[in-house]
Structure 1
Amino acid sequence: MTTTDNSTAPAPPKKVMFVSVGQSPRSDLIGDILANLDMPIEALELGALDGLSAREIDNLRVRPGETSIVTRLADNSEIVVSKARIGERMAQLVAAFRPNEFDLVVILSTGLFRDFDSTCLTVNAQRALESAVFSLAAQGSSVGLIQPLERQINELDIPALQPYRITASHALDNDKQSLARALFDLADCEIIVLNSVSFSEADREMAAKVTGKPVVLARRIIASAVRLLLYQSQPITLPGMSSEFTDRVNRLTARERQVMSLVAEGLSNKAIARQLGISPKTVEIHRSNVMSKMEVASSAALIRMVIQAGHP
């Protein structure tokens, strides 16, 4: 006599490729993001500086007149590289991925203002964070941005934010003294944005404790996007999320959750359609369903709701 096992096998882990500006591994950064998720993930890493000689890396250092990104090498030392030239290298790496090679590709940079030609579903950290800042500023809130480098204050160039109340300062990650000074500079701001993936959960906790104000962390924004893009139809019940947000998200289909995340990243219907391999008209239908089920009247309101859910 044979018996049938009707138990459901656990879902295989989702394969996520994290692409960073520096050298891998970045266990500190990726570990912090994964800590905000409650799903099995096979995390893979690729650094834009991986496999390069010391001379090749040196040639990517920022030059006079160029805008900059600060990142880390494998020995944990920091290097300031050219935003334009490292962006080109990252774009080449991402474009080389095979179609659907990964369940998700995450661009771990909050300084590259560009699109990436990926054949995989992709989270662009810069787009996600910029969209978050825009939605908060458009609500009328005065927003304080904390950059990793002082020179990056003058390099900020986000035309969409020019009409709004944005103030910038700078601080090193995991440096309480410089972070405290930056928070003093931004004392009049209503919301603080740690505007780099280098800032950790510990930095966010300190800033929130010192100021008593909402503090937006890039790593949490990324985790929220990953969660919405990779969850299928199973309910989302995460600690810290309001029951109202949880109930509304659980009304969405798997595809609607993906569309919601990409809307929160600020993508157009055409761009979302390219990512998901569907028509812009189908995206428009999903988008309308999302707005109805989440009970919001605008994309900005939806983005604010997603941010607040990821920053209880």
Structure 2
Amino acid sequence: MILRRMGMITIGQSPRTDLVPEIQEILGPEVEVMEAGALDGLSHEEVKRFYPRKGDIVLCTRMADGTEVVVGRRHIIPRVQHCVNVLTERGAEVLLFLCTGRFPEFSTEKLFIEPQKIVDHMMAALLSGKERVGILVPLASQTEQARKKYGRLKGEVVIRAASPYGRPEEFRTAGEELKAANPSLIVMHCMGYSEAMRRALREITGKPIVLARSLVARVVKELLS
């Protein structure tokens, strides 16, 4: 058995016990996973200085205790680069970024897998121009960003928000709104959404669901096979 060493980087705190085990299950025992987080070692009070301000690109992530935090992307970029450096030094052969947000290129000679590119290219490939696609994002404050980003896609785009770390009622409301919009498919556009959440959304809407987490994990498995 060939063991591959993969570094996984979260914009929150590691370990991501809510996320990495599901990816590891798809990748199989041939892949050894190492984790690093952009907010590792910081308290909730210290993270407050990263809160988004007007004009910031807003990101939603998770602390080690499971609580949700919201940060501005500009604060996270250099800290992700630090995670890249740390995991490379620890022997990671491949790096997987655990965020579907759009980021500038990071400095590394390793293969750096960006879920945003995988998910967005998949969406573009599936849409012929006649469909309506539903997109679920974590925060209401991200819907306008998403509308600008995906307005150029073929077909109509319907965007709703529900945090993967929030209240179940919020998730159900977003699901009911997506059901009412009657899209051809729904994309859960955040690595924080789980397989259980996908099943719940499928039960609410009856629609085909693309889960970013499992889609990316299966692409990675293909790359490492």
TM-score after normalising by structure 2? 0.87
Residue matched to 1:127: 117
- After superposition, residues 1-312 of structure 1 pair within 5 angstroms as 11-52=1-42, 56-95=46-85, 98=88, 101-138=91-128, 140-156=130-146, 157-158=148-149, 161-173=152-164, 175-187=167-179, 188-231=182-225
3-state SS of paired residue (1:166): strand
2:157, 2:102 → 1: CA distance? 19
Partner SS for 2:69: strand
Using the TM superposition, give the Cα deviation of residue 96 of structure 1 relative to its aligned residue in structure 2, in angstroms: 5.9
Letter in 1 for 2:50: L
Name the CA distance, whole Å, in 1 between partners of 2:49 and 2:191. 24
Aligned mates of 1:163, 1:213 — CA distance in 2:
19
Coordinate RMSD, CA, aligned: 2.3
2: CA distance, partners of 1:54 / 1:181: 29
Contact 2:135 2:158 in 1 (8 A): yes
Once the two structures are TM-superposed, the CA of residue 186 in structure 1 deviates from its matched residue by: 1.9
How far did 1:129 drift? 1.4
Instruction: Report the secondary structure of 1:71's partner residue.
Output: strand
Cα-to-partner distance string for 1:144-195 (whole Å, 9 max, x where unaligned): 0011111110122426735531110011226442222212222221101111
How many Å apart are 1:30 and its aligned residue? 0.3
CA contact (8 A) 1:194 1:218 kept: yes
Code of the aligned partner of 1:109: C
SS in 1 for 2:47: helix
For the residue of structure 1 that corresponds to 2:52, the secondary structure is coil
Q: 1:152 to 1:34 in 2, by over 3 A?
A: same
Instruction: Give the percent of matched residue pairs that are identical in Structure 1 and Structure 2.
Output: 29
Instruction: Assess if the C-alpha contact under 8 Å between 2:56 and 2:73 holds in 1.
Output: yes
Structure scoring higher RCO (CA < 8 A, sep ≥ 6) equals 2
Post-superposition CA distance 1:53-93 (Å, at most 9, x none): 65542221111221211111122211100022212321343
CA contact (8 A) 2:7 2:87 kept: no
Q: Aligned letter for 2:138?
A: P
What is the number of equivalent residue pairs in this alignment? 221
* CA deviation map 1:19-78 (0-9, x unaligned): 000111101100111122334221110000113465542221111221211111122211
1:115 counterpart letter in structure 2: E
Give the C-alpha shift of residue 94 in structure 1: 1.9
The DSSP-based 3-state class of the residue aligned with 1:186 is: helix
Larger Rg: 1
Amino acid at match of 2:106: F
Q: 1:54 to 1:213 in 2, by over 3 A?
A: closer
Tell whether the 8 Å contact from 1:113 to 1:127 is kept in structure 2 after alignment.
no
TM-score normalised over the length of structure 1: 0.65
| Structure 2 contact 124–153 (Cα < 8 Å) conserved | no
Quote the Cα distance in structure 1 between the aligned partners of 2:157 and 2:196: 24
C-alpha separation in 2, matches of 1:177 and 1:159: 26
Q: Which has the higher strand share?
A: 2
Runs of 5+ unmatched residues, structure 2: none
Deviations 1:252-272 (A, max 9, x none): xxxxxxxxxxxxxxxxxxxxx
Distance (Å, rounded) in 2 between the aligned partners of 1:116 and 1:36: 26
CA distance, structure 2, for counterparts of residue 54 and residue 207 of structure 1: 31
In 1, the alpha carbon distance for the partners of 2:160 and 2:79 equals 28
Unaligned residue ranges in structure 1 (runs of 5+): 1-10, 232-312
